[in-house]
Structure 1
């Protein structure tokens, strides 16, 4: 019985606009729930709810499936129910300036604390100089000088009286105190002294040495007295500084009395100000060498540095947050993730301090959620490894890129780590997820939950209504025109086409939302108040035209004969195969001429594409299956004695996939049986060893590709395409193709087996092997078997002529 073409109803499952329970999306309540992602929703809720270590989330699926919008919705809801985390600030570490301290403050207190400490610096800049310029300070300094100068004055007085008793005077010189001979209270001149008798001079020298020794013995405690004076002076300085600073700091200490870490830091500031008041006054810089201008600059810099140590560097501020933070880091470099220490150039050298410590995304997301794109994370040097380090440690330690791995050795600050409590969500495709799962043992320990976003959903009334409600929300948010029922119907059909399954709809919402926006443009051009089905169709056609230059160019070359594709007549060993080409966003079918030549040989089916390294592994596998099919059907009692070659004519690139294996088998059977094949039919489908035709991908594009060629050359009414029966459910052909089939100008046939296909292609019955081991006379299989027998006899004859031996055939 001849195989009948598929009816038009099987070629496209249309959506009946009149059956939709609404006139337009303006009547529908927008859908605020995810569509077609039940499995992913369960995973997201589980990951958010799990507080144990390592239950971070990897959301996998192609772009456009709504990963980001869905996760953002769930994170926003979860964040509102969580407490707002505290603020973190960095302050100077007075014990080790290279390791700034991290302080945690209540939410929203970081900025106020910074401003309060800035005001403290300003107040100290006024209070300290005023305190040291006051009368009280001068009086206390004078008292110290007086008290500690009394010992030395008493010694000098005694020594002066003793010297006078021996006719000497105690005088001050540049070298210190010394004794000089005197008479009548006046020091002797050198002339007078030299005129004295020698004996008198010797006696005077001896007395003078004795006096000098007594003076030195009396003044041996001067260093001790000087030290006591300095200590007393320091005590005065400390007391004055404490008096000037303590009441200022006490006000802040009272404000932050409930935060022990801040109170401790303020106490440390007070001690530092008291102990190093000279830095705040700039007096220590006055002893440096250089010009007055240089000394002034050094003094100003010293004072600025001293004041900077009292300031506060807010790392994170959560005062404006209502709940936990949700941070999306678009550029997840290592510094952007874990923070960085910036540097300034001063006198040709890089300098830094705690005020140049900058927060990373992990700091900002601390206590909440951090969303990252996996591919960008992996492409950023050191970012992925340092993210894992931070998650393992449970704290954010700021390090230079590569420092963990010993790549960077520059000496810089080591800020105190900040405790971390964050849920990380990675967005990526399935390939990235599985590569990380297989290649990185730590990945599964840190990202224990996978949200696998589906690309399809079942097509039913509920799904169609939900899709309409989802699009209703889109047009409302973006102020687009509402879709009427015909527009929704066309979108449903387009969703089924994108899903490549008439019984399903695509879950790639990005494609559908873009289509709605483009259809709105055409509705505006048409002056329509609603988006109708014709506008959706116009948007689809416009997109295909924009991206269809290569497709149209190839079609033109086929029509002109540059690329040879026959659509009429019959030829032995030649058949029209179908392939799908992808250029950018568009995919289209293009027929290719596949030819086969058969001759006597040693049972080889040669794939010419493979011989020249233009065949992928799947295509090579399909050709090997052909050899197995021939051996199973025609070489039950002996070896095959043939050599056949298969090739895609005018193909100049790599060919892969097994969707042409049934096509190649038809060409091979035609060449062996010397039976011509109809050129008005094109074929697609893979085949197994037993001749069963199996499904392939891109069936819609392949059918439409041959239709376009036939239409361009002229439809004859007997042209068509053979597809696997199992691909019928995937048909969502263009309306013009369906209309041509309905009018009998084109046909689509669905086959289960190679025998069904060869019968349609050649008009011959394939025939089944009888009990006697032979096929029915005149059948296609009989012709192939006889040809193979002839090959075997010829091979045996040639073998006998060479060796003198023959094998009975």
Structure 2
């Protein structure tokens, strides 16, 4: 093939700005489509619309191609068509307090449920005290106590009668009863007892022993009687508390009757309040005010509702871009608070991460930031593989001491995860991690250039118009647009291609507007764009100038 010398004029593609169907960008409509990314958009569409497992998306492509904005805008369109996902709450587990229960409620109902429970407990505090302070309760309690005392008196009277029959007297002591012999109506002293005949002493001793057997039996019967009546009192308290608690809990259960897990939780609340009704009556009163208040705060915490995901303000599905994917930011965390030199936690300290907040929608993650943080990639894979999120205590993963750790119930996951990274990262993960392509089955590769055609050039002009509107820049003349298009060819390094590095194009538009402003121009013209390009090159070509200087001074030579 013959080598043809190229003139300088052939090193750039020439446009005639007058052929543009506009004089300034004021005449254009902003671009509402995407230039030159058909391949990536088709892959993105496939990944977003596939419901099968593992169709998460790994995004690759050169920097400044606008892929993050394109993805975010695409996700917003998809999200707007989807239902708003449920709220998620953690509540106290009355059966296993170290395993907080997860409850799901329709969007916006989590905070409502929390308020309902708070109102319920406040009402029960008042109504339980009122019920146990009522005349009806006091009469029932008095009747039980009167019956107990009557039976106790009868048993003691029978014991005294048996003692009299044996010429004995029983006297209550701190240890029970003391048996005293009687002679001629008077207690027999030890000295008088020793003065009796042997037969009389043996007779009295036998009577005392017989009486002690009767006393022991009576004491056992009294203990059984006390226990029986104590159970009667407990049953009375339970009946009174149940009557009060059930009527209020049943009202709330009716509201949430379609949510089986919620009604099951409400049943547990009902049982627990009834079982601990004494704490609602007088458990927080009396001496030691601060200590009692601390106990009340600690005890009542079990009835709180921790709304970890609140979608009340959301319309459609969530779209979250996690820019700092640490373990706690992505997976969630379990906070702690100091108590007497140690650290403790409870279900109210569970906090959701972006993975849970994006549940039912879409989560974007930067690959580099994700891989920089320990345990994050493995935790993400595990969650996506198992289709559930288990919020863990990060201190356990780091091997530090964990005090009073919790194991919250896992929450089912249904979302699309989109990881944005370099092609090299994608290939390395595909090569060394056999599970990677099972979880990220779609790759969307964004192009860095597109064919230069009349259509794409016009789209470039409309893109310029969109940036002008968004950045509130002055209008560009068609000559200025021509120079920007030329700059797009230079970035692509080919006359038949236009660069899709829109981040660089936006910077050049901003700087061109700056130089136009310096000259007090109302519009940005071609000369302002050229000025911006020259200034940009001057800021970045020091090495180039040093090399040229070395060549001119014969310090470097070019071998051809």
Q: 3-state DSSP class of the match of 2:171?
A: strand
| Aligned counterparts of 1:185 and 1:396: Cα–Cα separation in 2 | 85
Please state how far the C-alpha of 1:132 moved relative to its aligned partner: 2.5
Contact residue 284 and residue 293 of structure 2 kept, 8 A:
no
Q: Which residue of 1 aligns with 2:116?
A: 116
| Aligned counterparts of 2:186 and 2:460: Cα–Cα separation in 1 | 120
Change (3 A) 1:204 1:495: same
Aligned pair 1:412/2:405, yes or no? Answer: yes
Q: How does 1:260-299 map to 2 (within 5 A)?
A: 260-281=260-281, 283=283, 293=288, 296-299=289-292
| Aligned counterparts of 1:542 and 1:184: Cα–Cα separation in 2 | 131
Contact residue 25 and residue 484 of structure 1 kept, 8 A:
yes
Please state how far the C-alpha of 1:413 moved relative to its aligned partner: 0.9
Please state how far the C-alpha of 1:549 moved relative to its aligned partner: 4.3
Please state how far the C-alpha of 1:203 moved relative to its aligned partner: 4.1
| Aligned counterparts of 1:73 and 1:196: Cα–Cα separation in 2 | 113
Q: Which residue of 2 aligns with 1:24?
A: 24
Change (3 A) 1:8 1:63: closer
Q: Which residue of 2 aligns with 1:373?
A: 366
Please state how far the C-alpha of 1:332 moved relative to its aligned partner: 1.1
| Aligned counterparts of 1:545 and 1:522: Cα–Cα separation in 2 | 15
Q: 3-state DSSP class of the match of 2:435?
A: helix
Q: Which residue of 1 aligns with 2:180?
A: 180
Q: 3-state DSSP class of the match of 1:221?
A: helix
| Aligned counterparts of 1:309 and 1:480: Cα–Cα separation in 2 | 57
| Aligned counterparts of 1:325 and 1:138: Cα–Cα separation in 2 | 56
Contact residue 558 and residue 564 of structure 1 kept, 8 A:
yes
Q: How does 1:176-325 map to 2 (within 5 A)?
A: 176-182=176-182, 187=187, 193=192, 197=196, 199=198, 203-281=203-281, 283=283, 293=288, 296-325=289-318
Please state how far the C-alpha of 1:304 moved relative to its aligned partner: 2.2
Q: Which residue of 1 aligns with 2:532?
A: 539
Q: CA RMSD in A?
A: 2.5
Q: Which residue of 1 aligns with 2:329?
A: 336
Q: How does 1:149-168 map to 2 (within 5 A)?
A: 149-168=149-168
Please state how far the C-alpha of 1:543 moved relative to its aligned partner: 1.9
| Aligned counterparts of 2:282 and 2:348: Cα–Cα separation in 1 | 21
Q: 3-state DSSP class of the match of 2:245?
A: helix
| Greater CA drift, 390-399 or 216-225 | 216-225
Change (3 A) 1:206 1:45: same
Change (3 A) 1:31 1:224: same
Contact residue 280 and residue 306 of structure 1 kept, 8 A:
no
Q: 3-state DSSP class of the match of 2:127?
A: helix
Structure 1 gaps, min length 5: 287-291, 566-575, 578-662, 664-682, 684-809
| Aligned counterparts of 2:471 and 2:303: Cα–Cα separation in 1 | 50
Please state how far the C-alpha of 1:374 moved relative to its aligned partner: 0.9
- For residues 432-481 of structure 1, the C-alpha deviation after alignment (integer angstroms, 9 at most, x for no partner) is 11111222111111111111110111112111110110110111112111
Change (3 A) 1:320 1:142: same
Higher relative contact order (CA 8 A, sep 6+): 2
| Aligned counterparts of 1:72 and 1:185: Cα–Cα separation in 2 | 105
Q: Which residue of 2 aligns with 1:507?
A: 500
Please state how far the C-alpha of 1:75 moved relative to its aligned partner: 0.7
2:455 to 462, 467, 471: 462
| Aligned counterparts of 1:343 and 1:316: Cα–Cα separation in 2 | 20
1:435 to 428, 433, 436: 428
| Aligned counterparts of 2:32 and 2:22: Cα–Cα separation in 1 | 19
Contact residue 489 and residue 533 of structure 1 kept, 8 A:
yes
Contact residue 89 and residue 110 of structure 1 kept, 8 A:
yes
Please state how far the C-alpha of 1:339 moved relative to its aligned partner: 1.6
Q: 3-state DSSP class of the match of 1:505?
A: strand
- For residues 259-309 of structure 1, the C-alpha deviation after alignment (integer angstroms, 9 at most, x for no partner) is 2221111111101111222344464999xxxxx64xx55533333233211
Please state how far the C-alpha of 1:352 moved relative to its aligned partner: 1.2
- For residues 65-100 of structure 1, the C-alpha deviation after alignment (integer angstroms, 9 at most, x for no partner) is 111111111111111111111111111111111111
Change (3 A) 1:14 1:169: same
Q: Which residue of 2 aligns with 1:148?
A: 148
| Aligned counterparts of 2:317 and 2:130: Cα–Cα separation in 1 | 47
| Aligned counterparts of 1:22 and 1:266: Cα–Cα separation in 2 | 69
Q: Which residue of 2 aligns with 1:125?
A: 125
**What is the TM-score of this pair, normalised by structure 2?**
0.93
1:482 to 437, 459, 475: 475
Q: 3-state DSSP class of the match of 2:21?
A: coil
| Aligned counterparts of 2:321 and 2:313: Cα–Cα separation in 1 | 17
Aligned pair 1:6/2:6, yes or no? Answer: yes
Q: Which residue of 1 aligns with 2:48?
A: 48
Change (3 A) 1:162 1:25: same
- For residues 564-593 of structure 1, the C-alpha deviation after alignment (integer angstroms, 9 at most, x for no partner) is 14xxxxxxxxxx32xxxxxxxxxxxxxxxx
- For residues 196-224 of structure 1, the C-alpha deviation after alignment (integer angstroms, 9 at most, x for no partner) is 54555554444322222222233333332
| Aligned counterparts of 2:3 and 2:422: Cα–Cα separation in 1 | 43
Q: How does 1:49-68 map to 2 (within 5 A)?
A: 49-68=49-68
| Aligned counterparts of 2:197 and 2:476: Cα–Cα separation in 1 | 132
| Aligned counterparts of 1:158 and 1:227: Cα–Cα separation in 2 | 20
Q: How does 1:354-753 map to 2 (within 5 A)?
A: 354-401=347-394, 410=402, 412-552=405-545, 561=553, 564-565=555-556, 576-577=557-558, 663=559, 683=560
Change (3 A) 1:555 1:6: closer
Contact residue 152 and residue 219 of structure 1 kept, 8 A:
no
- For residues 726-774 of structure 1, the C-alpha deviation after alignment (integer angstroms, 9 at most, x for no partner) is xxxxxxxxxxxxxxxxxxxxxxxxxxxxxxxxxxxxxxxxxxxxxxxxx
Q: Which residue of 2 aligns with 1:106?
A: 106
Contact residue 284 and residue 296 of structure 2 kept, 8 A:
no
Contact residue 132 and residue 281 of structure 2 kept, 8 A:
no
| Aligned counterparts of 2:352 and 2:377: Cα–Cα separation in 1 | 18
| Aligned counterparts of 1:255 and 1:194: Cα–Cα separation in 2 | 80
| Aligned counterparts of 1:470 and 1:241: Cα–Cα separation in 2 | 71
Q: Which residue of 2 aligns with 1:594?
A: none
Please state how far the C-alpha of 1:241 moved relative to its aligned partner: 1.5
Contact residue 280 and residue 307 of structure 1 kept, 8 A:
no
